[in-house]
Structure 1
Amino acid sequence: MEVILDMAFPFLSSEWMDAARAIRAKYQDQAPKITAVIRINQVITDVPFGDGTVKSYMDTSTGAMNDQAAAMQAFMGGKIKVAGDMMKMMALQTQMPQTDITAKVAEEIKAITE
Structure 2
Amino acid sequence: MPAFLSEDWFSTVEQLSAQAGDLNLSPALQNLAVNFVVSDAGKNTEMSLIGGKLQKGLVENAKTTLNMDAETLRKVFLEFDLTAAMQAFMTGKIKVQGDMSQLMALQTAKPSTEQKSLYKQILQETV
Q: TM-score when scaled to structure 1?
A: 0.72
Q: Which has the larger radius of gyration?
A: 1
Cα distance in 1 for partners of 2:25, 2:88 equals 29
Query: What does residue 37 of structure 2 align with?
Result: 43
Query: CA distance change for structure 1 residues 58 and 33 in 2, over 3 Å: closer, same or farther?
Result: closer
**Residue 87, structure 1, aligned to residue 101, structure 2:** yes
Identify unmatched segments of 5+ residues in structure 2.
Answer: 48-66
Percent of pairs with identical residues: 34
Q: How does 1:57-72 map to 2 (within 5 A)?
A: 57-65=69-77, 66=79, 67-72=81-86
2:14 to 21, 31, 47: 21
Q: CA RMSD in A?
A: 2.5
Say how many residue pairs are matched: 104
Mind listing any 5+ residue stretches in structure 1 that lack a counterpart?
Answer: 1-7
Over 3 Å counting, the alpha-carbon distance change for 1:11 and 1:48 in structure 2 is: farther
Cα distance per residue 1:2-49 (max 9 Å; x no partner): xxxxxx2222211111111111111205x3156332332321123477
Q: CA deviation at 1:104?
A: 1.5
Does 2:101 align with 1:107? no
Bigger share in strand: 2
